[in-house]
Amino acid sequence: MSYADGMIPDHLRTTPRRAGQLTLMLALLLGSLLLVACHRGDSVEWRLTDVTGHMPDLDFRLVDDQGKAVTGKDYRGKVVLLYFGYTHCPDVCPLTLAQLHVVMQRLGPLADGARILFVSVDPARDTPEIMHAYVNAFDPRAVGLSGTPREIEALSKRYRSAFTREPDKGDGQYEVSHSSAIYVFDREGKARLLATPGNPQDALVHDLHLMLSLGNPT
């Protein structure tokens, strides 16, 4: 196509020089505006629910699956996928984590810039050791976070999430109802997107690909 454009004979190029300069200036202005917009992330078309400015930054005080005390700031520089669950959950939590593993695989090397933070809503049973074995069975980029009931509740409330320990089934076993959402934070720890089970996997891959590519330090 550009080859054909170049074939236009000179005598047909009637555009006055000044108009050409004006067009060039306008194009440059528009281009710089677009760049600014892109930099601020305003023009990005997310497929998941955009929660930018509606939820607080990533912040917590918990213990990771190596037994180390960690805060939200320890994950600055990584795109974070925050999900609440518990290890005695045989169906939905493994399903979500298995799907996140597939998403990470689909992202290829970009996935190294992301972390899955699996926060236990079952502080009574989930120790760092159990969490370590659990998250590593899903993805090497998954981190299991546990803490005291008060710390877990603080984090859950911060993101308007909720969890309820259901009554004991009589043999000491119980289920925990919990939020099914996945919260996505950018590298600066800003809450950006919300994914729910209704969102297709492609939407998550698309948005994470975009977020991990934007402002990539490399």
Partner 1 sequence: MINRTLPLLAAGLLLAMSVHAGEAEHVRASQAWIRVLPGDLPAGAYVVLENTGDQPATLRSASSVRYGSVMLHKSSSEGGVSRMAMVESLVIPAHGKAELAPGGYHLMMSKANPPVKVGDDVKLTLHFDDGSTLDTRFVTRPANATDAGDPHQH
Report which of 114, 93, 115 is spatially closest to residue 181, judged by C-alpha positions: 93
Residue 124 touching partner 1 (CB under 8 A): no
Task: Identify whether the C-beta of residue 120 lies closer than 8 Å to the C-beta of residue 85.
Answer: yes
Residue 38 touching partner 1 (CB under 8 A): no
Rounded to an integer, what is the distance from CA 111 to the centroid of its chain? 11
**In 10 A of CB 44, how many CB atoms?**
15
Residue 139 touching partner 1 (CB under 8 A): yes
Q: Which amino acid, 137?
A: A
Q: How far is the CB of 102 from partner 1 (least distance, A)?
A: 6
Which residue is it, tokens 């969890």? 163
Range in contact with partner 1 (rule: CB under 8 A) among 24-32, 61-69, 71-79, 88-96: 88-96
CA distance 182 to 14: 57
Q: How far is the CB of 145 from partner 1 (least distance, A)?
A: 17
Residue 65 touching partner 1 (CB under 8 A): no
Q: How far is the CB of 171 from partner 1 (least distance, A)?
A: 8
Which residues bind to partner 1, rule: CB under 8 A? 85, 87-95, 97-99, 101-102, 130, 133-134, 137-139, 162, 171, 173, 175, 177-181, 196-197
